[in-house]
Structure 1
Amino acid sequence: MPVPQSRGVVARSLLRENAYRAIRDAIVDGTLAPGERLNDGDLAQWLGVSRTPVREALTRLEQAGLVRTKPGRYTIVSTVDVRSVRAAQSVTAAMHELAVREALPNLSAGELDAMREANARFADALRRDDVDAALAADDAFHGIPVIASANHAIRAVLDQFTPVLRRVERMRFSSLSGRGSVAQHERIIALCAAGDVEGAALAVRANWGTLVPLLDAMPAASENEPST
């Protein structure tokens, strides 16, 4: 299994979470490609950790729909399954809408400024065709109301279902279809600043709904068992 050449990239603290995030990000950005076998020993060597946090990370990634495991036989990176992504998109949109509804009554001027700054970074990243920076800025933008909502259940659900969307979002932000999100973000900010809870919540749901046409254009994926 080819893995990135850098080693020891996971800090000794928070090994489980960091191992999960490192492997998740490698799947999302395509370093670990769909259908690729994952060997926990190779991953542990790459990350500079024992096999235990790697195995725990792979279990979480299977729950998130990013890997498939046949106990005692193989673990592979999942292909993009449109049905699973549709389900994740629906849940994610609902959670972000709920976050705005709960956050907006107490959203501060500083948090609105942070949303503006994140959207400016998002727009700049799109202009430079920097998909990684665009995803990070988009995360930051939507993460502000999520944090402000102080609803840990929302964050837990998003942590589970957002990763499976990231591979599709990479396609969107690498094309012209993603450029419209800048204006949508601006509208969300304006509605939040005006205190329009209903309008802002619906605008957030509509923003996440822009993934649907991309999903409609994708063929249904099938995953065959790897040959032994």
Structure 2
Amino acid sequence: MKKLSNTLIRENAFAELRRMILSQEIKPGEKLNEKEVAEQLGVSRTPVREAFHKLELEGLVEIFPRRYCLVKGVTHGCIREIHLIRSQLEPMAAYHAVDHLSDEDIDQLSSLIEKTKELMVEGNAQKIMELNDQFHRTINEASNLSRIVSILNNMQDYIVSFRYSFISRPELAQRSIDEHEEILFALRKRDKELVKKLVTQHLEGISEYEDVILEDLKPVPN
């Protein structure tokens, strides 16, 4: 864990622990000790204690008072809820993005896809995931629907933890690329209904891989 600055210590402690749990730097099944975590982050125990409680509200940990904090990580219910939110909001964002994406923006999306294809040959799953995120983020932000974008951005850490599970599998990564190309084609045509339909289908396909995600997120043995 990296040391935190004095600025917004409470928020930083929560954000850092949340990030580490969702990225699996801290894995499901691990036990966190308040004093040890505080020392590793370079803060007092109070912001760590508050962070634990906020993480418990998100369902990411379970607190056993005066003993330890058990990391639960991402659950099946969490995955389904995130996919439900995305399936409702992202197609609508894509629909509205058609009115705002310039030809240069669409060319940039095409460039992201081509770079992703090159990375497929290298087997660089981490970089593929980053470009995948950039593809979706570019479309979402072009919608100019600030509240929807804010909700989707707030879930980004969760989405990343899901996405790596299938991007790291070549056959699923290739499927994602193929579907991105279909979305790009619809964007070039400025066909708002088709864009919305294809983004909906793309997200439905992602939700099919819940078992794959859960397999990668199994708790470590006690």
Q: TM-score per shorter chain, which class? A: 0.7 to 0.9
Structure 2 match to 1:210:
205
Q: What TM-score comes out, normalization by structure 1 length?
A: 0.76
- Residue 55 of structure 1 deviates from its aligned partner by 5.1
Structure 1 match to 2:20:
26
* Range moving further from structure 2, 187-196 or 48-57: 48-57
RMSD: 3.2
Question: 1:63–1:160: 8 Å Cα contact kept in structure 2?
Answer: no
1:55-204 equivalences under 5 Å are 57-70=51-64, 73-175=67-169, 176-204=171-199
Counterpart of 1:204, as a letter, is: V
1:31-73, CA deviations, whole angstroms, 9 ceiling, x for partnerless residues?
Answer: 2111112334444444445556555554554454433345555
Q: Which blocks of at least 5 consecutive residues in structure 1 are unaligned?
A: none
Distance change in 2, residues 1:211/1:67 (3 Å):
farther
Q: Which blocks of at least 5 consecutive residues in structure 2 are unaligned?
A: none
SS at match of 2:98: helix
- Residue 140 of structure 1 deviates from its aligned partner by 0.9
SS at match of 1:118: helix
1:177-201, CA deviations, whole angstroms, 9 ceiling, x for partnerless residues?
Answer: 2221111111111111211111111
Question: 2:22–2:73: 8 Å Cα contact kept in structure 1?
Answer: no
SS at match of 1:138: helix
User: Percent identity, aligned pairs only?
Assistant: 26
Give the Cα separation in 2 of the matches to 1:60 and 1:101: 34
SS at match of 2:190: coil
SS at match of 1:31: coil
Give the Cα separation in 2 of the matches to 1:126 and 1:76: 36
Counterpart of 2:179, as a letter, is: Q
How many residues end up aligned between the 2 structures? 217
- Residue 111 of structure 1 deviates from its aligned partner by 2.0
- Residue 147 of structure 1 deviates from its aligned partner by 1.5
SS at match of 1:105: coil
Question: 1:39–1:75: 8 Å Cα contact kept in structure 2?
Answer: yes
Counterpart of 1:116, as a letter, is: S
Counterpart of 1:207, as a letter, is: H
* Range moving further from structure 2, 17-26 or 107-116: 17-26
Distance change in 2, residues 1:178/1:75 (3 Å):
same
Question: 2:87–2:204: 8 Å Cα contact kept in structure 1?
Answer: yes
Give the Cα separation in 1 of the matches to 2:42 and 2:107: 39
Distance change in 2, residues 1:55/1:119 (3 Å):
farther
